[in-house]
Amino acid sequence: MNADNICKFKKKVEKMRVVSLINGSLISETSSIYSFYYAKELGYTPLLVYIKGKDSLNAIQKSVTELQKVGNKLGIEVEFQLFENLNEFKKFVEKGDVDIVFASTRHNHTILDKSFIKTILNRKIEVDFAVVKVIKSGIADAVDKIILPIRDSKLSIRKFIFFSVLNLAYKSEGEVYSINKVSPFEFKNSIKYIQKRTKEIFFNLRHYFRFAKIAGFNFSIKADIAIAEEGKVETHIAKHNFNLAIVGAHHSKIFFGKHPIDVLFEKPIINTIYFIPYKG
């Protein structure tokens, strides 16, 4: 790569956009504020997008005005663009200068419910998505504890980087909460089991600590086990006062009931972002 190509690549990165889909609701405004913090941390441009539908254009314009005021307070310039339909939006995104798309959904919807979000995801647009389930609006600028629940030691680098960017953006405390569903026999020896699993998890995730040190932020790892307590994750979140959760958007494929993390897809108790990386 010669100097000219390096310069072009640098300019390309600097022009990257973080898209937030809006519909004039407080829920979409809350989702947009999360996207602003993410964009600011990376030095990217936040772009509000409305895909024409049945929503009030007056409500859309009001949202844009309010969100641009939020952007001004954060010291970032917020752009807005309107698209006639989903095909037009898909072509825009796939030009390659969009880093991620934030979108919101009602807390009583699952990711797979029939909805506009599901329609978008089914189009397989070549971009990562961050789908925000908003339980409480108006708190996206006050995040001090972020939790990333994982199954065992399964943590993709893409999900961890997303988690890292938001931790850096909010200067928050971050925790990777590893929970493993175990048999009754294993649960009887829970203390020894947890000690063993904690050691293994720290070893398996040690490269993430290296990355965090380079990036300049700290996070902790908590290991836990459950037999059938679907509320185990909820209890941990409430007990330690987390105000944002990040999870991967998929259900466990197990034969003896739900995994405790699955409750976050059905009845989250705090604002939750479902990170859905594009799989080409």
pLDDT in tens, 137-165: 888 999 999 999 988 778 889 999 999 99
**For the chain, what is the mean pLDDT?**
84
Confidence class for position 254, pLDDT limits 50, 70, 90: very low
Confidence class for position 122, pLDDT limits 50, 70, 90: confident
Q: Examine the pLDDT at 10 and tell me if it is beyond 70.
A: no
pLDDT at 230: 60
Tokens for 280, please give them. 């080409």
Of 45, 64, 67, the C-alpha closest to 56 is: 64
Q: Give the least confident one: 7-16, 193-202, 250-259.
A: 250-259
Grouping H, G, I as helix, E, B as strand and the rest as coil, residue 253 is: coil
pLDDT at 224: 83
In the chain, % of residues over pLDDT 90:
51
Using the structure block, give the residue that is written with the tokens 């941390």: 41
Mean pLDDT, range 22-29, rounded to an integer = 93
For residues 135 and 248, the model is more confident at 135
Q: Examine the pLDDT at 199 and tell me if it is beyond 90.
A: no
Mean pLDDT, range 49-68, rounded to an integer = 93
Q: Starting from the edge strand earliest in sequence, which strands make up the sheet with 79-83, in order?
A: 79-83, 45-51, 17-21, 98-106, 128-134, 272-276, 244-248, 145-151, 173-181, 219-226
pLDDT at 6: 47
Q: What is the pLDDT of residues 85-95, one digit of tens each?
A: 999 999 999 98
Torsion 264-267-272-277 (CA) sign? positive
